[in-house]
Amino acid sequence: MAYIEPAPIKDRENPLESMMSRFNIAAEKLGLEEQVYNVLKNPAKQVIVSLPITMDNGKIEVFEGIRVIHSNILGPAKGGIRFAPDVHLDEVRALAAWMTWKCAVVDIPYGGGKGGVRCNPREMSAGEIERLMRAYTLAMIDVFGPDKDIPAPDMGTGPREMAWLMDEYSKSHGMTVNAVVTGKPLVLGGSLGRTEATGRGVMVSALAAMEKLKINPYQATCAVQGFGNVGSWAAILLEERGLKVVAISDISGAYHNSNGINIQEAIAYRDNNKGTLEGYKGAEKLSTPGELLELDVDVLVPAAVEDVITTANADKIKAKLIVEGANGPTSAKADQILVDKGVMSVPDILANAGGVTVSYFEWVQNRLGYKWTAERVNRRSDRIMKDAFQNVYKAAQQYDVPLRIAAYIVAIDKVAKTYKFRGGF
Ligand code: GLU
């Protein structure tokens, strides 16, 4: 779990406003018709439920569960479920819309959705989390479905929770339905390569961008914020491709070593240390975690939470390239500051789309009743990520806009065209 504490609510820019402001710019550049704009501006469905759970102490606590389907124009909705203490409707709405754009950018046949439960999984027992996941699944039993809405892991959830979801859904339907959810454990029909898929996509898009910027990976340095699934896999794979990873961070703080951090060693340390880097000795602890973002590195990978690069620190960023492993790490107000400084950002809806791409492969394999090799999964997802990058890069040149707006343009254009062919429904 990537768990960097987000900025206090009062200092945060609303992720929904951030998403909408980019959507508005892209829609205008594209000359999107008003009626299509109005359809895409609003989520197709929003469900909010109360989930009473018996806690280990015998008391009943009521949790709020949300699922938002932003769009199902391209196909069934797709998107993760987030378990976090600060989940709120606007955030889930933004994340659901980002899934629509993400799936369209990588050209997979899905719409966008997202789920969230406001809870703190770090303070809950496995039994409590299981009861919560099963209750959430039952509450959403008519929302989910392999042809309707296909959840997956997100912050605070992983293969274990997806297994409970698949089991609960299957029991309700009287048969095993593994295609209802992705990111499952391998034995339940998970896909090889899914665990590392998001980090791998970050690596592939980072290398594609570095080629454009003429940065030699073997001479480049990199800082990675967040050491959960996305950050740690991105760090390993970037290190493997020659970059020197000089800083990493997680909830316990940020760690810097100008000679490079041994990522395998840091991961082994984390795994033997209750999942955190607390007390890690392979690097020096920075006095504040935010310093990691301002280090003099070539490549910066924010792979934790939303809104970490804001108007408060954007002018202090020294990296030449930002590759967004997290969803929404840069606030909309910070975009222009980075553009003016000449920093290239590979936006979230492109950079972290490797995860949902391999989720798609998992769903395809489940429906085929067949298993692909890791080589096949990686080869196909690398190709999709490279093609998506080139497509977005081309649109950026054509419309004379930064990569972020170009990615929205590519996505909105695809969804709008599909909508027009399908007609009003
Ligand atoms: N939660 C991941 C994301 O934000 C994965 C979604 C999926 O695989 O459906 O992209």
For the CA of 356, the nearest atom of ligand 1: 8
Instruction: Enumerate residues lining ligand 1, CB below 6 A.
Output: 78-80, 152, 154, 182-183, 327, 352, 355-356, 359
Q: Are residues 199 and 174 in the same domain?
A: no
Structural domain count, the chain:
2
Q: Are residues 163 and 309 in the same domain?
A: no
| 245, containing H or E segment | strand 244-250
pLDDT confidence of 423, banded at 50, 70, 90? confident
Which of 369, 330, 359, 358 lies closest to 346 in space, CA to CA? 330
For residue 387, how far is its CA from the centre of ligand 1 (angstroms)?
19
34 falls within a domain? no
Residue range 45-101, pLDDT digits in tens? 999 999 999 999 999 999 999 999 999 999 999 999 999 999 999 999 999 999 999
20 falls within a domain? no
For the CA of 110, the nearest atom of ligand 1: 9
Residue range 288-314, pLDDT digits in tens? 999 999 999 999 999 999 999 999 999
39 falls within a domain? no
Question: Residue 361: which domain range?
Answer: 191-425
For residue 350, how far is its CA from the centre of ligand 1 (angstroms)?
12
Q: Are residues 230 and 372 in the same domain?
A: yes
Which of 403, 404, 364, 399 lies closest to 381 in space, CA to CA? 364
Which residues are CB-contacts of 138 (< 8 A; sequence separation ≥ 6)?
168, 172
Question: Count of alpha carbons within 13 Å of 268, Cβ hemisphere only?
Answer: 7
Q: Are residues 181 and 201 in the same domain?
A: no
Q: How many CB atoms lie within 10 A of CB 84?
A: 22
Residue where a domain stops, chosen among 150, 167, 188: 188
Which residue in 114, 184, 244, 414 is the catalytic one? 114
For residue 153, how far is its CA from the centre of ligand 1 (angstroms)?
6
Active site annotation includes 114: yes
4 falls within a domain? no
Identify the CATH number of the domain in which residue 382 sits: 3.40.50.720
Q: Are residues 86 and 219 in the same domain?
A: no
Q: Are residues 206 and 177 in the same domain?
A: no
Mutate to test the pocket of ligand 1, among 83, 99, 360, 362 (most ligand atoms within 8 A of CB): 99
Backbone phi and psi for residue 64, each to the nearest 5 degrees, phi listed first: -100, 130
- Residue 288 DSSP one-character state: S
Identify the CATH number of the domain in which residue 132 sits: 3.40.50.10860
For 52-65, the DSSP string reads: EEE-TTS-EEEEEE
End-to-end CA distance of the chain: 39
For the CA of 150, the nearest atom of ligand 1: 9
Ligand 1, atom 9, residue with closest C-alpha: 79
| 352, containing H or E segment | none
309 close to 333: Cβ distance less than 8 angstroms: no
347 falls within a domain? yes
Mutate to test the pocket of ligand 1, among 356, 361, 366, 381 (most ligand atoms within 8 A of CB): 356
Q: Are residues 340 and 302 in the same domain?
A: yes
226 close to 192: Cβ distance less than 8 angstroms: no
For residues 298, 315, 385, 116, the Cα torsion angle rounded to the nearest 10 degrees is 130
16 falls within a domain? no
For residue 79, how far is its CA from the centre of ligand 1 (angstroms)?
5
1 falls within a domain? no
Q: Are residues 148 and 252 in the same domain?
A: no
pLDDT confidence of 9, banded at 50, 70, 90? very low
What integer is the mean pLDDT of 273-277? 95
Angle at 112 between CA 40 and CA 158, to 5 degrees: 155
- Residue 49 DSSP one-character state: E
Q: Are residues 116 and 212 in the same domain?
A: no
279 falls within a domain? yes
Q: Are residues 85 and 131 in the same domain?
A: yes
For residue 352, how far is its CA from the centre of ligand 1 (angstroms)?
8
CA distances to 120, 153, 177, 230, 340 from 303, in Å? 19, 15, 31, 6, 23
Q: Are residues 200 and 174 in the same domain?
A: no
Residue where a domain stops, chosen among 167, 188, 209: 188
Q: Are residues 94 and 117 in the same domain?
A: yes
pLDDT at 13: 74
Residue where a domain stops, chosen among 133, 167, 188: 188
pLDDT at 12: 60
Ligand 1, atom 8, residue with closest C-alpha: 356
344 close to 300: Cβ distance less than 8 angstroms: no
